[in-house]
């Protein structure tokens, strides 16, 4: 049902995009809007992982790293039936994580240094399993496409004021209304898709690591940390907020417009209910990470790979 709902919401986003194009330029405008959207989505789909990782200054984690992060991710990927994704570390004190990539064969998982410091080995496994679920469900590609659509709809709506055709069809009041309502509708669709996929990834992630309570505990800690610690890169790039396991935005008033995640307490309740139905069945994952083996964060943006 999650995929059916996602497909319906994606269809609604496409129709909205073409509708804005039609209001600006008639039937020709709708066709042009569709062609532009297709081009943008192909480019974004192909380059999404590099674009997002660069935005957050993520540094690669190489196999054999002293944190054991690469080995833990590879173990969980095997549990999920996936090729091991690339692993990245983001130097920020806010605990958080996201996955990106156009498909499971070209995917990456990025975690923050704050996440490693805040969570136990088991909780970290739950978070990585959640991100692997996004990869297995192809959510990374879906969310990239919806983000592109949302941005393109906002751009078209702003262009409407400068095109005579739209003013003739709707009048100045109608054009101004479209400038505000179309981006709002796009944001609502984007949020609905994101929330649908988060619940599905929580369930699948709990199954991958075999311990729903690991992820439930991690979500509570991440939510508390994200609410009080700024994530400067995410604030500069709010359109990527939906990719994180918990919304990283809180520093500005406009951040409430990007509330793309379901309530943490609802997600935790669902995971605890899953555990109560006998969801704790997996084998352990590797050895715990000792806090003494976790390196200090690096301040230089030119720092090399973590080893």
User: How buried is residue 54: exposed, middle or buried, by Cβ count under 10 Å (0-12/13-18/19+)?
Assistant: exposed
- Per-residue tokens: 296: 């200090």
Q: Which candidate, 306, 223, 231, places its Cα nearest to that of 267?
A: 223
Rounded to whole angstroms, how far apart are CA atoms 92 and 90? 6
Would you tell me how many other CB atoms lie within 10 Å of the CB of residue 162? 10
Q: Is 168 a catalytic residue?
A: no
Catalytic residue among 122, 123, 131, 207: 131
| Pairing of the two strands 107-112 and 97-101 | antiparallel
The H-assigned helical ranges of the chain are: 2-55, 69-80, 113-118, 121-136, 139-159, 164-209, 212-228, 232-236, 264-276
Rounded to whole angstroms, how far apart are CA atoms 183 and 112? 31
Q: Which candidate, 10, 16, 48, places its Cα nearest to that of 196?
A: 10
Radius of gyration of the chain (CA): 20
Active site residues: 131
């Amino acid at each position: 049902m999650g995929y059916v709902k996602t497909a319906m919401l994606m269809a609604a986003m496409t129709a909205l995009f073409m509708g804005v194009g039609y209001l600006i330029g008639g039937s020709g405008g709708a066709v042009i809007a569709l062609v532009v959207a297709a081009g943008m989505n192909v480019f974004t789909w192909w380059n999404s992982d590099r674009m997002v990782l660069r935005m957050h200054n993520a540094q690669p984690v190489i196999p054999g790293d002293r944190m054991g992060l690469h080995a833990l991710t590879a173990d969980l990927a095997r549990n999920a039936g996936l090729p091991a994704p690339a692993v990245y570390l983001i130097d920020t004190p806010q605990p958080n994580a996201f996955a990106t990539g156009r498909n499971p064969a070209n995917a990456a998982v990025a975690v923050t240094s704050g996440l490693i410091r805040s969570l136990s080995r088991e909780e970290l496994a739950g978070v990585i399993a959640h991100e692997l679920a996004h990869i297995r469900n192809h959510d990374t590609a879906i969310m990239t496409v919806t983000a592109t659509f949302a941005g393109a709809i906002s751009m078209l709506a702003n262009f409407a004021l400068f095109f005579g055709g739209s003013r003739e069809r709707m009048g100045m009041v109608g054009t101004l209304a479209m400038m505000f309502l179309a981006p709002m509708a796009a944001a609502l669709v984007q949020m609905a898709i994101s929330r649908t996929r988060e619940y599905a990834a929580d369930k699948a992630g709990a199954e991958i690591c075999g311990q729903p309570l690991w992820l439930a505990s991690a979500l509570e800690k991440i939510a508390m940390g994200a609410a009080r610690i700024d994530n400067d890169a995410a604030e500069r790039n709010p359109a990527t907020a939906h990719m994180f396991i918990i919304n990283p935005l809180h520093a500005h008033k406009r951040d409430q417009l990007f509330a793309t995640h379901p309530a943490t307490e609802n997600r935790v309740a669902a995971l605890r209910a899953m555990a109560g139905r006998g969801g704790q069945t997996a084998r352990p994952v590797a050895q715990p990470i000792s806090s003494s083996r976790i390196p200090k964060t690096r301040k230089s943006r030119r720092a090399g790979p973590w080893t």
